[in-house]
A and B are shown apart, each in its own frame.
Chain A
Amino acid sequence: MVSLDWFPLLNSLRIAAISTVIVFFLGILAAQKAARLPPVVKGILDVVLTLPLVLPPTVVGWLLLLLLGPRRPVGAFVLERFGARLVMTWPSAIFSTVVVSFPLLYRTARGAFENFDPDLAHVGRTLGRSNTWIFWHVQMPVCRPGILAGTVLAFARALGEYGATSMVAGYTPGRTATISTTVYQLWRTGDDAGALRWVLVNLAISAVFLLAVNLLERKPAEGRNRAWR
């Protein structure tokens, strides 16, 4: 038995981690802006920002290729200017995971922000605190459960992303292979034992991850005060 090549694990984790960081900031920014918009504009924006959640991942992948492919506007520009290909490399997968997991964070964060009592922000302002301070020290900690849940969902979705990723980053062993694309490849080539190994790895990561989140949530920092950052 050959020793397991751990590259897909590393690759999946780094893609999911990076895209979660990106989605965290993008999603919170969008949620913060959207929570203050008039209802009609918010409704339209909501549809646009949530679309990737309901579209088939292959449609998302196709649209991304339309934009980022080497002969497409953005892809061609970046290739010519920076000599970097935007598709079929491991970071390419970040594009697809960001797009697909963004709505999860955006929606949960927006729900949390809309339930946030605006008087808590108002009192902070009358006490002389800056809006930035209020955001990081009041709004974010008060909305922490919702935002944390959204972040977990976004990470889990990014880790499990297959459809769009396989189109944008492809499957190159040792270069762009992720756990999900590896499982598909091994199954396709009849290597059920190999596929099973990666299925177990994936199950283990997901279980550990969800368990850690549950533990985090069970002790809501009694006596201590956690601010983000």
Chain B
Amino acid sequence: MALNVNIRKRLGDFDLQVSFSAGRERLALLGASGCGKSVTLRCIAGILSPDEGHIDLDGRVFYDSASHICLPPQARHAGYLFQHFALFPHLSVRRNLEAAVPDRSRRRTLIPELLRRFQLEDVASLRPRQISGGQQQRTALARMLAADPTLILLDEPFSALDSYLQYQLELELLDVLEDFPGPVVWVSHDRGEVFRNCHSVCVLDRGHSQPVRDLETLFHDPGTEAAARLSGCKNYADAIPDGTRLRLPEWNLTLDCGRPVPADVSRMGIRAHHVHPAAPGEANAFPCRVERIIQDLFTTIVLLRPLAARPEAPPLRMELDRTLWRGPAPGGELVVALRPQDILLLQET
């Protein structure tokens, strides 16, 4: 089973150019809002048409601009979970499921089974607005599966829910997806959600897709600043490669990276929780002035300025467990260090 997507679409002020393949694994489309994630998903489902390109599932062509093929959504059988579920508001839960099954005899066996499996029997005769958010999502999932889809497309499935409910529903959704034999494309802007639920990831940066990677690679070697940002990295600086070292003109530092630095590296990234107070004799240690201290729920955020930094240089953000912070008050000095393997070598785009 493989979904192959390679499309272009002009979208207002930018060009959407997306290319990826998804096998029987869950692929995340990760990108900031407005980068074209949902449009891509809609093009796959057939709700929107790309300007050019090719989409097929196991060789069954959904769309091909060269041979003028564009199957309607009805012929693509893509299960699409909409952001706000798009339940039919005038129909009961049961009738919502029945809407996906035109055949009456199939209805009789399938619908009771789905209602049971998704624990919707008690609310089967209620309207969507009369049931809880969790029940709404289960109804949407059951309706999607009732139509017997060949692939599943999830459009930010939890964006409308609070974090506790989201956690519950994620587990339920995973159960459903584990049993599903086809490709799953999961659109998200939330790196945690992607990390917990998907196997591989395709980063979309202002409409342009980057190569599909597995999740470990995204977090340990994001490659570009856009991917690093999406993976949650907060510190960046201009960088000049120098053998296995990196010169950072803004901070007036030279750091050992412990590996050869490719010549095309122009930025460095370091995660805030990888910045740490230096142990005696540690490599890549440098003194900083403490500029601000912010207490978060479970962490202490310390904004640091390397002593040798230029005035316009960005501050260095350090995050550590609240209980571990023993440093000086703002204005004081602190020596911090970066482990060579934690330094992310990045390209600008």
Contact = CB atoms under 8 A, between A and B. Distances in A.
Interface of A: 117, 119-120, 122-130, 137-138, 141-142, 144, 223, 225-226
Given A126-B80, A141-B90, 7 more contacts: A117-B86, A122-B45, A126-B73, A127-B146, A128-B100, A130-B74, A225-B95
A225 B47 contact: no
Contacts of B78: 126
A127 B88 contact: no
Contact of A129 (B42, B46, B86, B102): B102
Contact of B143 (A127, A142, A223, A225): A127
B80 A123 contact: yes
B208 interface: no
A-B pairs, top 6 by smallest CB distance, nearest first, are A125-B73, A123-B86, A119-B86, A127-B100, A126-B80, A127-B147
Contacts of B74: 125-126, 128-130
A137 B99 contact: yes
Interface in B85-132: 86, 88-92, 95, 99-100, 102, 125
Interface string B38-81: 00001001110000000000000000000000001110111110
Given A125-B72, A127-B143, A225 B82 contact: no
A204 B88 CA distance: 38
B80 A122 contact: yes
15 contacts: A122-B42, A122-B47, A122-B80, A122-B82, A124-B88, A125-B47, A126-B74, A126-B76, A127-B100, A127-B143, A127-B144, A128-B102, A138-B90, A225-B90, A225-B95
Contact of B45 (A126, A130, A144, A226): A126
Interface of B: 42, 45-47, 72-74, 76-80, 82, 84, 86, 88-92, 95, 99-100, 102, 125, 143-144, 146-147
B147 to A, nearest CB: 5
Contact of A142 (B80, B90, B95, B147): B90
B77 A128 contact: yes
B12 to A, nearest CB: 15
A138 B91 CA distance: 9
B88 A138 contact: yes
Contacts of A225: 90-92, 95
A129 B125 CA distance: 22
A126 B89 contact: no
B84 A119 contact: yes
B147 A128 contact: yes
Nearest to B78: A126
B221 to A, nearest CB: 36
Contact of B47 (A126, A128, A129, A226): A126
Nearest to A222: B127
A15 B182 CA distance: 58
B88 A129 contact: no
Contacts of B42: 122
A130 B99 CA distance: 11
A127 B101 CA distance: 8
Nearest to A133: B102
